[in-house]
Structure 1
Amino acid sequence: MPTLTANDGTELACHVRGDGPPSAVLPGGPMRASAYALSAHRTLYLLAPPATRTAPAGLAAPVLVLACVLHGGPRPALARRCADAFPRAEAVVQPGAGHCRWLDDPRWFVRRVAASLGQG
């Protein structure tokens, strides 16, 4: 499995998909699967679950933590706490969305993620 080296020298196991500017993707069930749609425009580094324990400390890139109100995770309060773990993170709540937020309101989802990637 390829690795990504964090700013502090920690080796993080990851899968690499796509082509374009780099983006790191933390595991998150079906949300991780939706990231593959972004691989048409980005090089995605899909971090293996153990890597997420050390990723926040050395990650200087912008981070988007996307929460929804109709599903168990991450809830808005948890999303804000997760965002606090990263130096340059933003927690955003998608209104009216649940488990498959990219299907509940695909236009909102794509606009918000694209804006976070500097494309919107």
Structure 2
Amino acid sequence: MDTNQSDAQFQAFLARLLAQPEPAAWGEKQQIELDMARALSTRMLRVAEHLQTDASDTDGWLTLYRYGRALDFILSSLASCREIQPRTLRTIMKLARFEVNVNYPE
């Protein structure tokens, strides 16, 4: 077998191994979910900044916990490409006392 041919075959094999699959495009619903997660994280930052000045604010800690749980659910679902049922997300956001994006499907 020719050395150049072996090199070419090895390079082709290596290229196939290293080829990254094309990421799936996110739909409008997933984009809205990501936007809600971004809004949640922004609110969490504000609450955390408030807690730096008033660490005894139990309500603030509970709010931070609720937001964190909702954010964890959204991001873990998006990262694992699981479909989030709109009713489920609406319930979680209601429990977290956070508003749902008006464009989010019913």
Name which structure has the greater RCO, CA cutoff 8 Å, separation 6+: 2
TM-score, scaled relative to structure 1 = 0.27
Larger helix share, 1 or 2 = 2
The structure with more radius of gyration: 2
Structure with higher strand content: 1
Q: TM-score with structure 2 length normalisation?
A: 0.29
